[in-house]
Amino acid sequence: MDLNLNNKVMVVTGGASGIGAAIVGRLAAEGAVPVIIDKNGSAGIKTIEHLQNEGFTAHLVVMELDSAESCQTAVKKILQLTGRIDGLFNNAGTNDSVGLEKGTPEAFLHSLKQNLHHCYFLAQACLPELKRNRGVIINISSKTAVTGQGGTSGYAASKGAQLALTREWAVELRESGIRVNAIVPSEVMTPQYESWLVENFPKPSEKRKNIESKIPLGHRFTTPEEIADMAVFLASERASHITGQHIYVDGGYVHLDRALK
């Protein structure tokens, strides 16, 4: 299926690793020009070099998206590199375990800053280009926004807000032809997830098997590439009448009975 993404410039925050890197790889394979925004320059360079060795065009902007000004600077750099922006994937974020009982007001605000604020600031900075090109916004949320997890108030609040903004922006931007959708992953095996298992459980492999047993479809983790496939489809003309949606790519984890065997 041709997704008609040739030469479309797609901005992916947190695109140096994990789900973001998988999205970048799928975009490149479809002929798009992915632009990674990531604070991890070394990981970003590795991802870009890999794509370039495969014959793809891709760019990297090393930036900590910690303010409206940094987001505006990132967009200016992207336009200097590419001359246009056709899509924004708000993917950057981290489950930082800022809870209600053990968190502090300062930690909570910092969590919102690193997981939510840049989504608004960057979308606003990209908006003139997205309007000009009838572009797309894809928000990568999390199951924590709808199920809760415990001990992660900042992250859950940020991801819940992403889901709300997805529908708010879909309404506000409809006359500009800009489509806005969200993907809600659950258990996705990324380097960040692996680190979480190792850091929090004495027997990480046993905990992993326990989690896998609760995923109805295949009793396995979702792969980053499966999230990426949906994200890239939603960004394409093949999804031309899909907007304001929260799409779960999770093997049935959230909505199916986890007691199923």
To the nearest whole number, what is the mean pLDDT of the chain?
Answer: 95
Residue-wise pLDDT for 182-195, tens only, equals 999 999 988 888 88
Parse the chain into domains and list their residue ranges.
9-186+223-249, 189-221
- The amino acid present at 25, given as its one-letter code, is G
130-177 pLDDT, tens digit each: 999 999 999 999 999 999 999 999 999 999 999 999 999 999 999 999
- Please report which residue ranges of 92-186 form alpha helices under DSSP H: 105-112, 118-133, 144-147, 153-172
Q: What is the CATH number of domain 9-186+223-249?
A: 3.40.50.720
> Mean pLDDT in each 10-residue stretch from start to end of the chain (261 residues)?
94 97 98 97 96 97 97 98 98 94 96 97 98 98 96 97 98 98 95 84 89 93 97 97 98 87 59
Using the CB atoms, write b or e for 114-153: b if 16+ within 10 Å.
bbbbbbbbbbebbbebbeebebbbbbbbbbbbbeeeeebb
What is the model's pLDDT at position 190?
87
On whether the CB atoms of residues 90 and 13 are closer than 8 A, the answer is yes
Torsion over CA: 138, 80, 74, 196 (sign): positive
Active-site residue numbers? 155
> Considering the entire predicted model, what is its pTM?
0.95
Q: Which residue is listed with tokens 């009982």? A: 101
Distance between CA 249 and CA 184 in Å, rounded? 6
Phi, psi dihedral angles at 18 (to 5 degrees): 60, -140
pLDDT at 168 (0 to 100)? 98
